[in-house]
Structure 1
């Protein structure tokens, strides 16, 4: 059997490599360290619970400073941080449902709850964009003096630090358990952290004698949220339509096609069910191949698929001899 290495991509170097790692984090094979769905869901629940607490504390600290400063940029960032914290709630419910066993009604289990949680994430991001945009436009027409600029700057730094801590934690756990939703939510938090730094730029602008910098930065944050909304909605839509990375399909086909005795691979289908990847396919062996030998090869190649692809759950392969 030809073995395919799970690390089939190169490493980027320099500034482009750092930016790629920041927004598209390098993914090691989580199937090597996690082979139990219950354990994976338990880690997911723990990750969203801890990140919810951290983001809630971060947003509350920022909200206190909003009350004494009147900064609309900081308000926009705080609203977004609150919505980001709340995205942990549907994810927590989804992971909890994912631990339940399949039933006669839900024969595939409850992993799809993660996709429904993704819709909730999209809705919350959209709401935060509307609130931040409306308030920023209102302040452009009716400027309000910003007070305690030093505290506003501190709040922006707090927002960045809190979101980056959560981003690193969510992405790390998401990689380990194979949860695309958790990794995406981690990247969401990382983007929020960078918008918090935009608040700091607004403060610097005001200190430089440009009072409209605050609502303008608020609008820039709104645009950043809209960009994030588009990317998140696209990814969630793909998951709902059973979309997978074509590279996963190519890797699975390569492994199956190079199994000893396999003549043809047909009807290969991959789909995400929560944070587990289901693989289905049909393997054709030449006429005269003993069924026992074909079944043994199929069992071996199924293990190879689990080794090569991330977070594989079920591998359902049908054998035909003709």
Structure 2
């Protein structure tokens, strides 16, 4: 006995946000690479590399959002929404790679007896423009970061870019006012330090979905308690909660009910009640219940029963 109510993650709104952010980010990333080569700034080059990785990630995110919108089939019964998760996985790995590369180059420059000349004024101008561009992209992606793990990954990457621009601005000001050229390498290490935790957090969320863990903020005990409060419900077992992608939780359970529910033909009424409970109280998109009389519960395999 089932209740289905599928949403539309990876829809047109998500794609529009991603495409606008991609256009802005890719355009300025190229400009920032040129600026980094002209000024000799590692911080700008690090930020440019981060923005280029963002552009790649956004391309993947757009493709994933298109794939995720494909309808379910007999072989892919939940559709292709998991594609968003794989897109976010790639983004997190790219972020980790960028953080490591920037950190290695930054340390190398700090250890070098000649840190090299950095043209601080052009660096400052480019960093300020980068901050403005990232702020616009961040605003575009902000509205979709909760409903889609793909957009969230892109949002976190652009946020890292924005913080990288701030670091570049600070480094440029320090070099202009003090002549301390190593400020550029130090700022690049700060950029790497800002990228790393966001990459790890995104990777953790991706692995949680792929491992079919209970979604963050969802309590199996609370769901079970709500179900047990329903009229005619005697027990609940074999409870499973996982997510296809962010914002798309799935729930299954065996619900033991009083014989009177079957005798009076109120199974449809109970199913409607249970479905409404999960939808309104726990935002569960797809729920499946197996209603069974108390006499049937004894036939269940002990090893397959879960609280």
**TM-score normalized with structure 1 length:** 0.80
Mapped partners of 2:62, 2:233: distance in 1: 42
Q: How does 1:235-250 map to 2 (within 5 A)?
A: 235-250=205-220
After superposition, the Cα gap between the structure-2 partners of 1:172 and 1:255, relative to the gap in structure 1 and judged at 3 Å, is: farther
After superposition, the Cα gap between the structure-2 partners of 1:134 and 1:92, relative to the gap in structure 1 and judged at 3 Å, is: same
Query: Any idea what SS the aligned residue of 1:263 has?
Result: strand
Could you tell me whether the CA contact under 8 Å between 2:9 and 2:68 is conserved in 1?
A: no
Mapped partners of 1:300, 1:99: distance in 2: 29
Match of 1:12? none
Mapped partners of 1:309, 1:184: distance in 2: 24
Could you tell me whether the CA contact under 8 Å between 1:249 and 1:270 is conserved in 2?
A: no
Could you tell me whether the CA contact under 8 Å between 2:215 and 2:249 is conserved in 1?
A: no
Long gaps (5+) in structure 2 = 295-307
How many angstroms does 1:60 deviate by? 2.5
After superposition, the Cα gap between the structure-2 partners of 1:134 and 1:117, relative to the gap in structure 1 and judged at 3 Å, is: same
Could you tell me whether the CA contact under 8 Å between 2:68 and 2:83 is conserved in 1?
A: yes
* Equivalent residue in structure 2 for 1:143, among 112, 115, 121: 115
Match of 1:307? 280
How many angstroms does 1:39 deviate by? 7.0
Match of 1:279? 251
* Equivalent residue in structure 2 for 1:198, among 167, 192, 216: 167
Mapped partners of 1:145, 1:36: distance in 2: 57
Mapped partners of 2:150, 2:266: distance in 1: 39
Match of 1:187? 156
How many angstroms does 1:75 deviate by? 0.7
Match of 1:252? 223
Match of 1:261? 232
* Equivalent residue in structure 1 for 2:268, among 284, 295, 306: 295
Match of 1:159? 130
After superposition, the Cα gap between the structure-2 partners of 1:101 and 1:58, relative to the gap in structure 1 and judged at 3 Å, is: same
After superposition, the Cα gap between the structure-2 partners of 1:174 and 1:309, relative to the gap in structure 1 and judged at 3 Å, is: farther
Matched, 1:63 2:62: no
How many angstroms does 1:36 deviate by? 6.0
Match of 2:204? 234
Match of 2:300? none
Mapped partners of 1:258, 1:183: distance in 2: 36
Show CA shifts across 1:184-215 (max 9, x none): 43133223211220111111221223221111
How many angstroms does 1:83 deviate by? 0.6
After superposition, the Cα gap between the structure-2 partners of 1:211 and 1:181, relative to the gap in structure 1 and judged at 3 Å, is: same
How many angstroms does 1:235 deviate by? 1.7
Mapped partners of 1:161, 1:304: distance in 2: 45
Q: Say which one has the larger Rg.
A: 2
Mapped partners of 1:256, 1:161: distance in 2: 50
Could you tell me whether the CA contact under 8 Å between 1:136 and 1:215 is conserved in 2?
A: yes
Long gaps (5+) in structure 1 = 1-34
